[in-house]
Amino acid sequence: MSTHASDPLAALGSLPGVADSVDSVRKAVDRVYGHRVMRRRSNEITSEAALRGARASAALSGADWALEEVRRRTDFSADAEARTVGGALRLTAECGQLLSIWRQSPLRVLARLHLVAEGEPRDATGRPRQAGEAVDEPLIEAPLPDPAEVSGRLDGLADLIIAGGNAPALVTAAVVHGELLALRPFTSRNGLVARAAERIVLIGSGLDPKAICPAEVGHAELGRAAYLAAFEGYLSGTPEGMAAWIAHCGRAVELGVRESTAVCEALQRGAA
């Protein structure tokens, strides 16, 4: 992040085009929450959104399985792709349990997310990587910050979250997501963790309290190339680049809304 305002997240909300993205997302979320199916069957929509979000996040991390395969499968230990899908599923299930901790101890939550994503403890599980440790992250090829920079920037991110502020939920979620991708603080599963943290912010902020707007679905639908291009904007630290990344994250949420709206309509028709 390259902003030095007293409330840097709120300052990002004033970048050109960001307010429009925030407003568009808010309206889209309000529409799906107002769907008549949500009044009776919101738990089903939440469960389906979690499944589809996990499938999409795994796809961005190289395990692009069909939704029905994810739904059918019970063993997620057979190979690397299965472990990635399993990690994504565990993360979406865990996010709701961590909301109350996030605002007080975000670094503790990130450590827990990495442990959940890995599924079993290893030497490097749940702690920031150390000097000389390699990072297994198939999608992101940007230069790796050294561990000292990672530690400092994680502390800074945590301070911003704990301080709160007036930034829109979309802006905070996009920055958390982008910063974790940029830092890749763990030796593995950083993409899964970054998208889970984005999910936690969107839910915990009150924008999507029932977790029915899976941004991961939108990120996957927009495609890896667009995801990486927008992320390059975040890495640039320029106002234009940051605004483009936030807008990209906003489009992802709106596509998640569209996905859950389709589920609502299918349930209404009795087709799902």
Q: What is the pLDDT of residues 51-98, one digit of tens each?
A: 999 999 999 999 999 999 999 988 888 889 999 999 999 999 999 999
Q: pLDDT for 125-173, tens place per residue?
A: 999 999 999 999 878 889 999 999 999 999 999 999 999 888 999 999 9
The yes-or-no verdict on residue 26 having pLDDT over 70 is: yes
pTM of structure:
0.94
Mean pLDDT, residues 249-270 taken together: 95
pLDDT confidence of 5, banded at 50, 70, 90? very low
Burial, 250: exposed, middle or buried (Cβ in 10 Å; 0-12, 13-18, 19+)? buried
* Phi/psi-derived region of residue 159, left when phi > 0, alpha when psi is between -120 and 50, beta in every other case: alpha
Q: How much is the pLDDT for 272?
A: 46
Average pLDDT, the chain: 93
Q: Find which of 2-6, 128-132, 221-225 is predicted with most confidence, using mean pLDDT.
A: 221-225
Q: Are 212 and 66 contacting, i.e. CB atoms less than 8 angstroms apart?
A: no
DSSP 8-state assignment for residue 16? T
Q: How much is the pLDDT for 3?
A: 42
Task: Compute CA distances 3 → 6, 104, 139, whole Å.
Answer: 9, 23, 26
Alpha helices per DSSP H over 65-189:
67-72, 80-95, 99-102, 106-118, 147-163, 169-183
Rounded CA-CA distance 49/263 in Å is 9
Q: Which two tokens stand for residue 209?
A: 């309290």
Mean pLDDT, residues 206-228 taken together: 97
Q: How much is the pLDDT for 138?
A: 79
Alpha helices per DSSP H over the chain:
8-12, 18-33, 38-60, 67-72, 80-95, 99-102, 106-118, 147-163, 169-183, 190-204, 215-222, 224-236, 239-269
Residue keyed to tokens 């389906």: 48
